[in-house]
C-alpha cells in the first residue's frame, strides 16, 4: 500500500500529530507519513480502542513518537501539540450501537475531547487541523447522493456528536480565525480494522466469517446500501487536506468512493474472493442505522484534489489478503475498531 505519493510538499521538515494514531485509520495515516519521510510523527492515543499491534512496526523508527494520553484532558492535548505543525484528529469513539448503549462516554470523548483539541491547536498555532467527521451527520435526509450542505436530523447519539464537531469547528473559524477541515468519512474499511468485539464494522466481520467458512449475520434484508471506502482513499484525503493551501474558512467534505454497495452484494463479493459458496443469516435491523448512503465527492475533488484510487472490489481484495495473514494471529482484541 501507499506506493503512490499523494503530496508534493517536502514533509521532512514538519512534525505531525495523529490523535487516535493507534487506531484503524490513524495508524494507516501514520504509516503513510513515516514512509514518505516526515520529520516526526507523534501519536496520541489512550488505547481504549486502539492497539499497540497497529503501531508496533513504527516503534523502531526514530521519527515516530508515542504519547499515551486522553483527549479528554486539555493539558494532555497541549503537550501532544508541542512543536506540531499539522494535526490529523482521528481520536473518537466510533459506532452507532456503542453510542446508543453509552451516550455519555461518546459525548465526553467525541465532543469534549474534540473541543480540547480545537482549543489546544488554536493556542499553539498549528498550520492545519483536519478532523474525522462522519456521514452519519446526514441523518434522516433522504436525498442521494449526499451533498455537504443538505443534512437531516441525527439518528443516533454518535451522529449528534459528529455534527456538534462541525458546529464547533465552524464557530472557531468565524470567531478565532482558526480554520479546520472536516472529512465526512463514508464506511471506511481496510487493513488494521478490528473484526473482534461487539462494535466491529461489517466488512471485517464478513471477511473473518468467509475465512473461517462460517455464515455471517446481515442486519435486515441485506438491501441496505453503503458507500464503502477503502482506507487508502481516506489516507489520501487526509494528506491532501492537511497540506492544502488557500482554504481560509472551515470546510466539510465527503470522503467516499462514490458508489453504492448493498450488504448482499458485499457478502457475495467477499465469498467470491474466498472461493466459497455460503449463505448469510438475516436478523433484525439495528437501531439508528440509515437505510441508504451514497456520497457526492465533487467538493473534495474541487477543494483538495481528492480522487479515490481504489474501488470497493480492489479494496476488498487487499483487505482480504491482509486479514488472511493476520486473523489467525489475532483472536484476542488486538486490532482497532474506530
The predicted pLDDT at position 328 comes to 60
Summarize the confidence of residues 149-160 as an average pLDDT: 96
Q: Which grid cell is 151?
A: 443534512
Query: How far is residue 26's CA from residue 241's CA, in Å, rounded to a whole number?
Result: 15
The predicted pLDDT at position 334 comes to 39
The whole model's pTM is what?
0.94
pLDDT band at residue 335 using 50, 70 and 90 as cut-offs: very low
The predicted pLDDT at position 19 comes to 98
The predicted pLDDT at position 329 comes to 58
The predicted pLDDT at position 289 comes to 77
- Which residue is listed with cell 489475532? 330
The predicted pLDDT at position 195 comes to 86
- Over the stretch 5-53, which tens digit does the pLDDT of each residue have? 999 999 999 999 999 999 999 999 999 999 999 999 999 999 999 999 9
Question: Chain-wide mean pLDDT for the chain?
Answer: 94
37 CB neighbour count, 10 Å cutoff:
11
Query: In the predicted model, is pLDDT for residue 246 greater than 50?
Result: yes
| Percent of the chain surpassing pLDDT 70 | 96
Q: Are strands 261-262 and 225-226 parallel, antiparallel or unpaired?
A: antiparallel
Q: Is 158 a catalytic residue?
A: yes
Instruction: Enumerate residues 6+ apart whose C-beta is below 8 A from 1.
Output: 28, 31, 191, 232, 318
Q: Which grid cell is 45?
A: 492515543
Burial class, 235, CB count within 10 angstroms (exposed 0-12 / middle 13-18 / buried 19+): buried
Query: How far is residue 238's CA from residue 36's CA, in Å, rounded to a whole number?
Result: 14
The predicted pLDDT at position 21 comes to 98
Catalytic residue (choose from 32, 86, 131, 158): 158
Query: In the predicted model, is pLDDT for residue 291 greater than 80?
Result: yes
pLDDT band at residue 288 using 50, 70 and 90 as cut-offs: confident
Cα three-residue angle 270-319-53, rounded to 5 degrees? 135
Amino acid at each position: 500500500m501507499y506506493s503512490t505519493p499523494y503530496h508534493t510538499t517536502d514533509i521532512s521538515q514538519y512534525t505531525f500529530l495523529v490523535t487516535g494514531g493507534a487506531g484503524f485509520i490513524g495508524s494507516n495515516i501514520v504509516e503513510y507519513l513515516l514512509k514518505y519521510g516526515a520529520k516526526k510523527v507523534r501519536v496520541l492515543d489512550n488505547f481504549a480502542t486502539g492497539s499497540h499491534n497497529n503501531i508496533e512496526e513504527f516503534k523502531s523508527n526514530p521519527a515516530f513518537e508515542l504519547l499515551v494520553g486522553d483527549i479528554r484532558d486539555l493539558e494532555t492535548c497541549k503537550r501532544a501539540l508541542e512543536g506540531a505543525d499539522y494535526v490529523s484528529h482521528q481520536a473518537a469513539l466510533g459506532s452507532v450501537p456503542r453510542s446508543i448503549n453509552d451516550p455519555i462516554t461518546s459525548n465526553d470523548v467525541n465532543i469534549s475531547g474534540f473541543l480540547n483539541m480545537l482549543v489546544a491547536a488554536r493556542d499553539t498555532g498549528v498550520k492545519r487541523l483536519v478532523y474525522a467527521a462522519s456521514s452519519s451527520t446526514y441523518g434522516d435526509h433522504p436525498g442521494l447522493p449526499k451533498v455537504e450542505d443538505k443534512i437531516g436530523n441525527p439518528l443516533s447519539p454518535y451522529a449528534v456528536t459528529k455534527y456538534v464537531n462541525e458546529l464547533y469547528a465552524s464557530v472557531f473559524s468565524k470567531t478565532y480565525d482558526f480554520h479546520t477541515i472536516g472529512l465526512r468519512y463514508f464506511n471506511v474499511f481496510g487493513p488494521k480494522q478490528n473484526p473482534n468485539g461487539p462494535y466491529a464494522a461489517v466488512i471485517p466481520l464478513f471477511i473473518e466469517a468467509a475465512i473461517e467458512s462460517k455464515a455471517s449475520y446481515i442486519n435486515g434484508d441485506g438491501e441496505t446500501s453503503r458507500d464503502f471506502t477503502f482506507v487508502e482513499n481516506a489516507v489520501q484525503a487526509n494528506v491532501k487536506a492537511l497540506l492544502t493551501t488557500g482554504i481560509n474558512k472551515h470546510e466539510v467534505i465527503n470522503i467516499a468512493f462514490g458508489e453504492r454497495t448493498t450488504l448482499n452484494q458485499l457478502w457475495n463479493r467477499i465469498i467470491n474472493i474466498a472461493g466459497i459458496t455460503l449463505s448469510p443469516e438475516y436478523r433484525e435491523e439495528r437501531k439508528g442505522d440509515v437505510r441508504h448512503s451514497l456520497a457526492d465527492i465533487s467538493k473534495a475533488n474541487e477543494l483538495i484534489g481528492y480522487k479515490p484510487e481504489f474501488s470497493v472490489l480492489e479494496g476488498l481484495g487487499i483487505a482480504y489478503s491482509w486479514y488472511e495473514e493476520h486473523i489467525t494471529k489475532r483472536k484476542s482484541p488486538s486490532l482497532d475498531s474506530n
